[in-house]
Structures are given as C-alpha cells and as structure tokens.
Chains A and B, each alone.
Chain A
Amino acid sequence: MDKNINIKVKVWRQNGPKEKGHFETYTLENISQGSSFLEMLDILNEKLINEGKNPVVFDHDCREGICGMCSLYINGHPHGPDEDITTCQLHMRKFDDGDTIVVEPWRSAGFPIIKDLMVDRTAFDKIIQAGGYVSVNTGGVPDANAIPIPRDKAEAAMDAAACIGCGACVAACKNGSAMLFVSAKVSQLALLPQGRIEAARRAKSMVAKMDELGFGNCTNTGACEAECPKNISISNIARLNREFLKAKFKD
C-alpha cells in the first residue's frame, strides 16, 4: 500500500553550460508514494517558487514513457532504480522514508549541460540526419503489401525501432558511446528490404558522424543494454559492426 514519506533530494544545480555546478539538498515532507518521480520534482519546484527561489530545470514532456525527453540520472542509474522505464514512469514507491535521493543530469561529452538537469542532445538528431532513413520522397511508392516481409524480421525491426532516443545508453556508458542508439536505427532499417538498399552507406555515415561528434568507443561492457528503458539489445551493436565491416570491405 502506498504511504507518505519524508525524503531529501540532492539535486545538481548549474546555471549554464560554462558555469560551475554544485549539489543542493532539499527536504520534502509527506510525499505520496503514489506520485511519480517528476511529480515529486513538481512539488519541489512549487515549494521553491513559493520561497522566491529559482525552480530546478529538467526536461520532460509526455510523462508516459515514450517521448524520450526526460533524462535524469538518479542514485547512479539513468532513469533511476526501476527496470525498463523512463524517469517519468518511476514512482516514489521505489523509495523509502528517510532516503536521500541524488539527482544528476546525463553526463557525457556528447551532451553538454544547458541548465541544471537539462542537457543538449542535438547530437542524436545530427546522427540521424547523417543517414538514419530510407531515401524516399513523398509519393510514388509501391503498394504497402507489394513487398511481403517475414514476420520475424518485422518483429526484430520493431524491437530495434522501439528506441526513444533518450540517451540513457550514452549516460550509462563509461566511454560515453552512442553505439546502442546508432545500432538500433541501423538494425531496424537493415532488417527490412526497404532499408537494405542503403544499408552500407547508412552504417558508414552514421558511424562517422557519431565519431565526429565526440562520442566514445564501444568496449562491450553492456551497461547500455542494462539501463535502456526500452530493452534495446546489444545484439544490435553486433549487427551494426557487421554492416559497417561489410561496407568497409566493399570499399
């Protein structure tokens, strides 16, 4: 049964990308365990505003685990201590009375801090822009049932396509690698006949862009897969490596 708890939250505050940040600790009383983690932060912000202080800045939007906007590093885990969820789906019943909860932004060279807990993830957009698509214009495409696709391929493509681009994989990785994110898109499209045509070009250009933007290398620690809220498998990284090597051999 959900009850009310008293907690401390230790939050990273940083005024801007170039400024020095620090932890600030706040005390919150009577937080319902039925509330979500972000609702707890709403309550904290309401309190700060009423005290004439600046509220904590954090990214969030859909609050139902699909937009990928929320991005908090809670008690040492991206999206917090629960499995297979984003921060917005984390509920206070995962915490106990008297807990001190540490809240940090994603920390990675690829994601500079904008303010407090908000980071800049435009690098992910740039990687997709480099080739994460099938090059078709609007119109003039064949009938949707013209190309049958084996069900298992379609399902595997969907598994990879479930990535929400939140960046938890990068935040979890000690190298700050974006391989899980890149491999999910490369895999989704490489598994489908529509995407096969450009598979080589796509793998090369997305990997090149990832390297250019300062993301680290993959050393197969598996931390990304463990922390991914959507269970994206590291087998996608193996598939990306295959596609990449195949493309390079062809050169």
Chain B
Amino acid sequence: MNQINSKIPEGPLEEKWSNYKSHQKLVNPANKRRLDIIVVGTGLAGASAAASLGELGFNVLNFCIQDSPRRAHSIAAQGGINAAKNYQNDGDSIYRLFYDTIKGGDYRAREANVYRLAEVSNNIIDQCVAQGVPFAREYGGLLANRSFGGAQVSRTFYARGQTGQQLLLGAYSALSRAVHKKQVKLYTRYEMVELVIVDGRARGIIARNLVTGKLERFAAHAVVVATGGYGNTFFLSTNAMTSNGSAIWQCYKKGAYFANPCMAQIHPTCIPVHGEFQSKLTLMSESLRNDGRIWVPKKKEDAEAIRQGKLKPSQIKEEDRDYYLERRYPAFGNLVPRDVASRAAKERCDAGYGVGTTGLAVYLDFAEAIQRLGKDVVEARYGNLFQMYEKIVDENPYETPMMIYPAIHYTMGGIWVDYELMTSIPGLFAIGEANFSDHGANRLGASALMQGLADGYFVLPYTIQNYLADQIKVPHFKTDTPEFDQAEKEINARIDRLMSIQGQHSVDSIHKKLGHIMWGFVGMGRDADGLRKAIGELKELKKEFWSDVRIPGEKSTLNVELEKALRLADFIEIGELMAHDALDRQESCGGHFRTEYQTPEGEALRDDEHFSYVSCWEYEGEDKDPAMHKEPLDYEFVVRQQRNYKS
C-alpha cells in the first residue's frame, strides 16, 4: 500500500518551481477571507508563514508556546544565513548552493526541493533587509559575507553572532504588524495537544492554555505545523527547554508519515558537559571555525597530563599538536561539514587524545587568528560568543583555547511532506525543521534559517493555495462536532492517566535516562546490536514512565510538570522510532553513522544501490511496530559521488 507521491513537477530542474507557480491553482482575494488557517509555532517558519498568509488575506490563527513569538528557538541561531547572491564575485550561483546542499546532505535530499530552496534564498535576504534587519556591512555600505562549513564560497549573511535573533525579530515584526491589522490572531502560552481530522482532512487542533490548564478547540480549513525539531529526545541538546516533538508526534499518530527520523545532526562545537545537574548544552557558532583551529595533543601522555591538570594547552609545543581536521581534510580543513567534524572529534577522544577533565573535549584555538588579525578584529567578529563561553566555563578564550565537544543540535528528519509541503494527511502542512525535506542526511551550517524562511515566506503561501482552491465553498468550521469531542476526550484521558500515576520519579529524572540511552546507542556512532538494545531499553523506560512518574499539582491549572510529562511521553516514543529507522538504514550517510559501514579511512560509506530512499514511517497503533514506506530518491540532475572534503 505504497502511496508515496512527492508531486514533483515535471521539466528541467531550474524550471520546476516557475512552472509550478505559473500553473498552480490560486484563491481569489474575496475567497481568502472565507478561509481559516491554523499555524502552530512562531519561529522563523511559523512567524513568516503566519505573517505572509495574513497579508494575503487569509484568517490566520497562530499559536505560540512561549509568552511571546520573539522567544522561539530560532532566536538562538548564531552564525548566519546562506544565499546565492554571489555578492563576493567568488563564483557562487543558485546551482552551486543547490549542489553544495545536496552534497552536504550526503545525497539523501530531494533535488527539486533543494533547487527551489536555493532559488528563493536570494528573496529572503532582500525581504529581511527591507524589514530593517541590520546585517553586517562593509565600509562601502554593501552587505558583508562570511564562510561556513561545506562551501568554498562566502555566501553567509550575518548579524554579528546573533543572526537568528535578528531574522526572527524581522519575522516577528511582520507578524506583529499582521496582528495589529487583525490579519492574524495570536495565542501565546498555548500548546497544541491534538490534531483534529474530519473526513480525512486536517480541520483543527486542541490546544492547552498553559496558564489556565484548560483544553480549547480551534477549527480551520488547513493546519500548518511549524514546531521545530525533536533534538530534546536526547535530554541534553542545544535546543531550548520547551523545544519538543509532541506536535509532530500527534500528526504522526493521526496518520502523517514520519520521514528519516534517525537523521539527527550532532554539532561539533558545543561547550562540553560539565556535570550531572546539567540542563542543556550551549552551542558555539560554526562561524568560529573560520578562524579557530581545532586540535588535540599528538602524544597520549600530553593528553593524559592535561586531563589531570598537570599541563596547560599553551605548554604543548606546536609540533606536538595534531590539527586533525587540517591533517585529514586538507581541502576544507577546519571548515568541513558538521557530521565530518563531529565524528573526527569523537574518533580522537575515543582514541585517548581528548582533553578537559573528562577527556571528552578538543581545543578550538584562536591564538593564531589573534596573531594574524589582532585581538580587536577577533573581538569584533566573535566577541559575544567569547563572552558567553567565559561566563559558562570561567576561562578566557582570548588567552587559552576553547574546549568543545559535539552535541545534538538539529533534526533533519521530520514529518514527511510532498513538494507542496503537505503531509500525507490532506490539509496538514509541515514547514521548517518540523518537516524532513531539504537537508537530507546532514544540514549545512546557515541553512536552517534559510529553509525556515523559504518555507514560510516564499513556498507555503503559494502551495497552500493549490490545496485551498477547492475549499472555498466549505463554510467556517464549528468545534462542537463529534470529531472535536473525540479528540478532546482522548487527550483528557491521557492527562488523567498521567496525573493518576503519582509514582516516585520526576519527569526530568526519567528524561535524563532517556538521554543516556539515546546518546549511548542512537548517537554519533550506531550499530545493529546497540540499536536493538536501545529499542528494548526504551520499551522498558516507557513502562517505567507510565507507572512511576510523579506529577504534582492539578491538571486544570498552570502545571509545568504536567507539560513536561506530556512531552516526555512522546520523546520516549520518538526515540524508539529513531532507533528503528537507524536499524533499518544499513549504511552510513551524513549524520547517520553505522560503525559497520565505513571506508578504510573511517569515512561514512553510503549504499546508493539499496538505501537511496526516504524512509516514511506509518503509525500502526500503540505498542505495534510501525510500517515503513519508501520514497525512492531518483537523482536526475546530479551525479552522486562519495563525499570528498580532502582534495
């Protein structure tokens, strides 16, 4: 029963999107007023979509889990946003951005989607500048660029180390304007807890008002989820504390396919773990790899002495340092893609060359950059990141090298969508990190901001109309229908069950256990035995959670522990699906590294003959193994190669 239809338009790669737009169905202005759209999430994708759809004339209901849309976790993106402007005259083009993204994703993304992304990337920069986003500029007044991993051109636009913040505030300002003009109705401190389906189409949601604890019903002609990724499955990640996978998990349980769940990105430059009480990990921007050099000691005895505090990094002579990225990958050096840099760090630490008290850290050294450029230039480029590092670690990175280690950062997998960003449930759309579409098995730096805004500003506002065009005669929905009753009953029962357990362990303590299982078996290096073990342990953990979690307080009030418990229940199941997917994919590609499948040099060994597909998982019911459908990835335009960052 394979029904995967990705609806990729016919024709040459560079004409697909133009052709699609020329021939798609549209909704005329008078009819737009009659159509309601729910957008869940207010990050880059959600806010830009809600604002753009509101401006077009649709009635938009926009839901935000925090107290303000300005807090969405897109705000924490530091380094920049890619676009194929070629302002630097260094040979960039739409095709090159497309090609780098496809290659960076280890040939597991859809060609047509990625080409469209590269095409609209330039519009995003124009849009943001028009909104007043203060991008970095040269003295002549034109925009500046920097380099990022996986590219040989400078195409990354940035606003100091706060690019995500400035882009989100741009989208937030557009959204605020739409709220002011009553084009969008904004609901803050609300969390989606159920998807409502009427006659096979997504027609609404149940949301929990986080202040009152009450369940509320909302209906619409279409539902858009823009709720980000599920990296917090690992407990410790660079994601914000409320970032969660529950909205997309509800979609999955209602029939939306979950695509490539095992593809999670481990970011190479995070501040290492320092204790059991740690609540999250802090990212140090990839842009630091422009000027910082990564190394560990060449001699094991030096590494050992550093771990014991007997040696300082500055005492290691130049010839005794192993700049392992520069050694292994001369062409890209410290700017190899994230998956490659992360694995190389793990390889050195596993081999006994790691530093820091735990041995799970490598150095990111700016001494050479400070000598070459001067301290003030380094400070101008990275000052806020250096300050952040010093506040957390209590060491001055101008004087001693930073210590970094990989951590979970982003999930390439997500809800399956077709070319129109519609899921396998008609009327349900997924945008931004919540969908799976554009990054394949590994996302390049500065591409998440690009994709979120591409989906929200320039793709969904077109493609959603192709769906809504035949909905214009459908009247506004009521929420007192049996479908809404049923959905509310289900979530109420789930909440009651959670509240009645009154076990011995807090939500966080169980979440930490989940994190250990995930990091140990479904993390940077995976193998079949470990994954089977993880599935077994996760089933046990699920039982433990549902019999032993303790949630204080009442259900119909503000109850943070209940919120966390609802999310954790889903994280445990997401973790299991990730393990299933990782077990199925008997190859290494991008962020998915199966230790059984590697080249003699330790690089990821892809298997295009057997695994050139998107794995689309379908929910089969509680405690049943999910079913998998395959969307074949036919590469028509690019010749796939073993990724090479060496020469």
Do A129 and B280 have beta carbons less than 8 Å apart?
A: no
> Which of B67, B275, B279, B392 has the most chain A CB atoms closer than 10 A to its own CB?
B67
Q: Select from chain A the residue with minimum beta-carbon distance to B160.
A: A158
By the criterion CB–CB under 8 Å, are A85 and B51 in contact? no
In the bound complex, do residue A63 and residue B241 qualify as a contact, i.e. CB atoms below 8 Å apart?
yes
Q: Do B67 and A122 touch (CB < 8 A)?
A: yes
Tell me, rounded to whole Å, the shortest Cβ–Cβ distance linking A166 to chain B.
10
Measured CA separation A158–B164 after assembly (Å): 13
Binding stretch for chain A, among B136-144, B200-208, B295-303, B484-492: B136-144
Q: Which residues does A use to contact B, with CB under 8 Å?
A: 2, 32, 34-36, 38-39, 42-43, 46, 48-50, 52-55, 57, 59-69, 82, 84-85, 89, 91, 93, 114-115, 118, 120-122, 124-125, 128-139, 141-145, 147-151, 154-155, 157-158, 161-162, 164-165, 188-189, 192, 194-195
With beta carbons under 8 angstroms apart, the residue of B76, B176, B241 that contacts A60 is: B241
Please report the C-alpha to C-alpha distance between residue A69 and residue B139 in the assembled complex, in whole angstroms: 35
The answer to whether A62 and B123 touch across the interface, beta carbons within 8 angstroms, is: no
Would A89 and B132 be within 8 Å (CB), given that A66-B75, A145-B142, A149-B141 are in contact? no
In chain B, residues 139-183, which have Cβ atoms closer than 8 Å to a Cβ of chain A?
139-143, 159-160, 162, 164-166, 169, 172-174, 176-177, 179-180
Whose C-beta in chain A lies nearest to the C-beta of B48?
A138
Known contacts A157-B132, A158-B134; 19 further A-B pairs (Cβ under 8 A)? A34-B275, A46-B506, A48-B552, A49-B550, A50-B506, A63-B240, A64-B282, A91-B394, A125-B69, A134-B131, A138-B127, A138-B174, A141-B126, A144-B135, A148-B137, A149-B141, A151-B138, A151-B139, A161-B159
Question: Is there a chain A Cβ closer than 8 Å to B66's Cβ?
Answer: yes
Chain A binding surface SS class: loop
B452-491 CB mask vs A (1 if < 8 Å, else 0) is: 0000011001000000000000000000000000000000
Which 4 residue pairs of A and B lie closest in terms of their CB atoms, listed nearest first?
A: A148-B141, A133-B173, A141-B130, A158-B134
Q: Is B211 an interface residue (CB 8 A)?
A: yes
Residues of B within 8 A of A188 (CB): 132, 134
B68 in contact with A139 (CB, 8 Å): no
Closest CB of chain B to A12's CB: distance in Å? 15
Closest to B172 in A: A128
Q: Are A114 and B558 in contact (CB under 8 A)?
A: yes
Task: Report A-chain residues with C-beta under 8 Å of the C-beta of B387.
Answer: 84
Residues of A within 8 A of B506 (CB): 46, 49-50
CB distance B131 to A145 under 8 Å? no
Give Cα A54 to B558, complex, Å.
11
Instruction: Assess whether A54 is in contact with B552, with CB atoms less than 8 Å apart.
Output: yes
State A60–B73 Cα separation when bound (angstroms): 12
Kindly report which residue of chain B lies nearest to residue A205, judged by CB atoms. B180
Residues of B within 8 A of A139 (CB): 123, 127, 457-458
**Residue in A39, A48, A91, A136 whose Cβ sees the most chain B Cβ within 10 Å:** A136
